[in-house]
């Protein structure tokens, strides 16, 4: 069952730099009980996409297209319905969410609050018990219920935010770099907790991360974004191990695997910078950095289409070279 679907989503910010097209026509779907990973360099539009889901973008953002949650368009629903959907239908753990805790309230009260707001039958005592259990699930002892945010480390505060996102048993969780600030042991524990919810409770998960090893180990599907568009998508492991877009190939090659010297194929990373969204090049946005570009790449924008010869189903790439069945990785 399709839980979340983006249809031709476009987000343009209007600001001091004029019109900034941050998301430029994204079509993606997440099934219940599945995990979609989103990768891509800083500024490619990942957080914009995530924030659009719960209409958390600033007023300066123009949004078009559809975002369907269980078939209902989140972009056009009334505010009353949207408030009900936030937390119970879908919840987000933001990048740097640890800074958004309320400084003057104890942790226990903050975790219990969404439960009390959204589940009218629950008593304050029951909500406190559930908050305590949630904190335990993210590795925080019950004594932390009485702490104030400033008494916790950044990683501990991020875990409180994760506990809050899980508080009302949402159908969809969006994790935007949610575990990046955590040390590797806690990160593994939290990832295991979230993955457990996906398989046991059929929650849908969108995981945004710079860490490709996290994405390929946790996610079923993956989408790689470049300059506001999805340039490659398919089963996560295949996208990162056998890329069909030169950008995903470079992203994967820039990521060394510990203990595997052969994986250090491109320790210097990808040359050049992502394009300024205000001044995108003609044709394929990746062309100025691409080692396999052909003439056509400077003239036409490649659509995201199925690629020949790929191992799994649903492999798509927005690259003319890959669509011809030619290799895209430069070793
Ligand atoms: N409020 C805003 N006003 C104008 N432009 C914005 C605004 N927020 C983001 N942008 C621009 O939109 C583009 C996408 O930003 P976004 O935060 O979605 O990227 P991201 O992929 O999440 O990056 P990162 O990996 O650094 O978190 C960037 O070019 C950014 O400068
Ligand atoms: Mg971001």
14-72 pLDDT, tens digit per residue, is 989 899 999 999 999 999 999 999 999 999 999 999 999 999 999 999 999 999 999 99
CA of 146 to the centre of ligand 2 (A): 31
Q: Does the Cβ of 52 fall within 6 Å of ligand 1?
A: no
Does residue 240 surpass a pLDDT of 90?
Answer: no
CA of 273 to the centre of ligand 2 (A): 17
Q: Does the Cβ of 94 fall within 6 Å of ligand 1?
A: no
Q: Does the Cβ of 22 fall within 6 Å of ligand 1?
A: yes
Q: What is the pLDDT of residue 40?
A: 94
- Provide the pairing of β-strand 221-226 with 229-235: antiparallel
Q: Spell out the SS3 assignment of the chain.
A: CEEEEEEEEEEEEEECCEEEEEEEEEEEEEECCCEEEEECCCCCCHHHHHHHHCCCCCCCEEEEEEEEECCEECCCCCHHHHHHHHHHCEEEECCCHHHHCCCCCCHHHHHHHHHHHHCCCCCHHHHHHHHHHHHHHCCCCHHHHHCCHHHCCHHHHHHHHHHHHHCCCCCEEEEECCCCCCCHHHHHHHHHHHHHHHHHHCCEEEEECCCHHHHHHHCCEEEEEECCEEEEEEEHHHHHHCCCCHHHHHHHHCCCECCEHHHCCCCCCCCCCCCCCCCCCCCCCCHHHCCCCCHHHHCCCCCCEECCCCCCCCCEECCHHHHCCCCCCCC
Question: What average pLDDT does the segment 173-186 reach?
Answer: 87
Structural domains present in the chain: 2-89+168-276 (3.40.50.300), 103-167 (no CATH)
The pTM of this model reads: 0.93
Ligand 1, residues 14, 23, 26, 48: which to mutate, most atoms within 8 A of Cβ?
48
Q: Does the Cβ of 274 fall within 6 Å of ligand 1?
A: no
| Structure confidence at residue 331 as a pLDDT band (50, 70, 90) | low
């Amino acid at each position: 069952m399709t839980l979340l679907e983006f249809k031709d989503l476009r987000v343009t910010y209007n600001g001091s730099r004029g019109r900034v097209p941050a998301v430029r026509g994204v079509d993606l779907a997440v099934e219940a009980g599945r995990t979609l990973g989103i990768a891509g360099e800083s500024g490619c539009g990942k957080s914009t996409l995530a924030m659009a889901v719960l209409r958390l973008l600033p007023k300066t953002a123009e949004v078009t297209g559809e975002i369907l949650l269980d078939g209902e368009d989140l972009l056009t629903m009334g505010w009353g319905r949207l408030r009900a959907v936030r937390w119970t239908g879908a919840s987000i753990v933001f990048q740097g969410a640890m800074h958004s805790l309320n400084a003057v309230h104890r942790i226990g009260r903050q975790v219990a609050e969404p439960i009390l707001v959204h589940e009218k039958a629950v008593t304050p005592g029951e909500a406190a018990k559930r908050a305590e259990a949630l904190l335990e699930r993210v590795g925080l002892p019950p004594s932390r219920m009485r702490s104030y945010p400033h008494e916790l480390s950044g990683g501990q505060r991020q875990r409180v935010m994760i506990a809050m996102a899980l508080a009302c048993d949402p159908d969809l969780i969006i994790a935007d770099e949610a575990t990046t600030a955590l040390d590797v042991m806690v990160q593994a524990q939290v990832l295991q907790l979230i993955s457990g919810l996906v398989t046991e409770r059929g929650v849908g998960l969108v995981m945004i991360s710079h860490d490709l090893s996290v994405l390929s180990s946790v996610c079923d599907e993956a989408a790689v974004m470049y300059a506001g568009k999805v340039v490659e998508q398919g089963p996560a492991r295949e996208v990162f191990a056998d890329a069909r877009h030169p950008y995903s190939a470079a992203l994967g090659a820039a990521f060394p695997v510990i203990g595997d010297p052969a994986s250090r194929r491109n320790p210097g990373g990808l040359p050049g910078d992502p394009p300024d969204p205000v001044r995108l090049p003609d044709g394929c946005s990746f062309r100025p950095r691409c080692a396999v570009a052909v003439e056509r790449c400077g003239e036409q924008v490649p659509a995201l289409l199925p690629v020949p010869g790929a191992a799994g189903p649903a492999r798509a790439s927005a690259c003319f070279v890959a669509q011809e069945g030619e290799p895209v990785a430069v070793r």
